[in-house]
Amino acid sequence: MSHKIAVLPGDGIGPEIIEQAVRVLQVLELPLELETAPVGGAAYEASGHPLPEATLNLAKAADAVLFGAVGDWKYDKLDRPLRPEQAILGLRKHLGLFANLRPALCYAELTHASSLKPELVAGLDILIIRELTGDIYFGQPRGRRTATDGHFPGAEEAFDTMRYSRPEIERIAHVAFQAARRRRGKLTSVDKANVLETFQFWKDVVTEVHAQYPDVQLDHLYVDNAAMQLVKAPKAFDVIVTGNMFGDILSDEAAMLTGSIGMLPSASLDRDNKGLYEPSHGSAPDIAGQGVANPLATILSAAMMLRYTLQQAEAADRIESAVQQVLAAGLRTGDIWSEGCRRVGTREMGDAVVQAVKAGTSKTTTQS
């Protein structure tokens, strides 16, 4: 049976990095049917909307979505519904992609690229699970109005709504406990229960769900403390589960521990493990079109797609071990380059992974 993959390159470096991931997928000679569509600023330019109907329909019909990146400063002045970021938010919402998996893995070869001391990050392997369709990102009501109370009645104000329902918390908690069970059996739930009703409720519900996973060790951290522990002793974490906004922030922080956000893939899954796969980094318009962007996060996202949605674990292993071989051979894009390594561009890095996949048979790796 052939699988349909919607390929959405997007803006900035999106098209360059997606091109390399597609080449790697093609080498595997799996029955994949790839169809490309515009998204983000590119789609706005082409048809006046960042998430055109046709693109959304393609994504809905596909078994999985391979996504590049969206966004450019030049769209910052557009009305919010027309900005490129709305494309990814719309896809998450319309496809029900509530579970965002962001592994932060520090490759042995890149220990020195981290901003932390090598001994703090060597061997780092944590998984951040971010709830992706609720919280203050999507909570209604939101908007601007004239204040009728607060510190300045009568003044213009803006507001958003932080909210989580029990089923939303329960389903992400199940994803997180199950992931922890497959890993080192440790889950940290991050909240702000000392101040926010929403996150006291979050903590209560996660604690209830824990009763079904007695084999997993659960602890709770306030988000400010979690941010601190992540730079103090990141290896103490295994799986972290948190809400949409805290997860947005903590996943960027965790990414940097590994040396480069250019290395990190992500999966956004619905309840049936259908998913959207994208690098954790953004569209990097400052280096777009120069052929210098690191394609490895996107290539590793394609591997996650094979593993989680297409149930092709062996093919995923082949890609992940190819990436490790290429790093071991000393190839580096600018973002991860260090003295003594060979500096390569986007395409050359893609070529190297393609060759390693062709040459390699699958070796089991530690990638989550």
Catalytic residues: 137, 192, 224, 248, 252
Say how many residues touch ligand IPM, by CB under 6 A: 4
DSSP labels, 306-339 = HHHTS--HHHHHHHHHHHHHHHHTTEE-GGG--T
Q: Do 31 and 306 meet the contact criterion of CB atoms below 8 Å apart?
A: no
Q: Collapsing DSSP states into helix, strand and coil, what is residue 5? A: strand
122 binds, among Mg ion, ligand IPM, none (CB under 5 to 8 A by kind): none
Write out the binding residues for ligand IPM, residues 243-262 only, by CB under 6 A. Answer: 248
In angstroms, give the least distance from the CB of 176 to ligand IPM: 18
In angstroms, give the least distance from the CB of 276 to ligand IPM: 10
d(CA 350, CA 345): 9
Sheet containing 275-279: order of strands: 32-36, 3-10, 64-69, 275-279, 265-269, 99-105, 125-131, 239-242, 186-191, 217-222
Write out the binding residues for ligand IPM, residues 302-331 only, by CB under 6 A. Answer: none
89 binds, among ligand IPM, Mg ion, none (CB under 5 to 8 A by kind): ligand IPM
Which is nearer to ligand IPM, 100 or 111 (by Cβ)? 100
Partners of 277 in the beta sheet?
A: 66, 267
d(CA 4, CA 9): 16
Q: How far is residue 199 from each of residues 138, 164, 189, 316, 357, measured CA to CA in Å? A: 16, 8, 10, 36, 44
227 binds, among Mg ion, ligand IPM, none (CB under 5 to 8 A by kind): none
Binding map of Mg ion across residues 221-250, x = CB under 5 A, - = no contact: ---------------------------x--
204 binds, among Mg ion, ligand IPM, none (CB under 5 to 8 A by kind): none
Write out the binding residues for ligand IPM, residues 57-116 only, by CB under 6 A. Answer: 85, 88-89
d(CA 176, CA 101): 9
Residue with tokens 């709830």: 131
Q: Under the criterion CB under 6 A, does residue 160 sit at the interface with ligand IPM?
A: no
Which is nearer to ligand IPM, 69 or 319 (by Cβ)? 69
Which is nearer to ligand IPM, 111 or 268 (by Cβ)? 268
Partners of 232 in the beta sheet?
A: none
Which is nearer to ligand IPM, 12 or 234 (by Cβ)? 12
253 binds, among ligand IPM, Mg ion, none (CB under 5 to 8 A by kind): none
Question: By the criterion CB under 6 A, which residues form the site for ligand IPM?
Answer: 85, 88-89, 248
Question: By the criterion CB under 5 A, which residues form the site for Mg ion?
Answer: 248
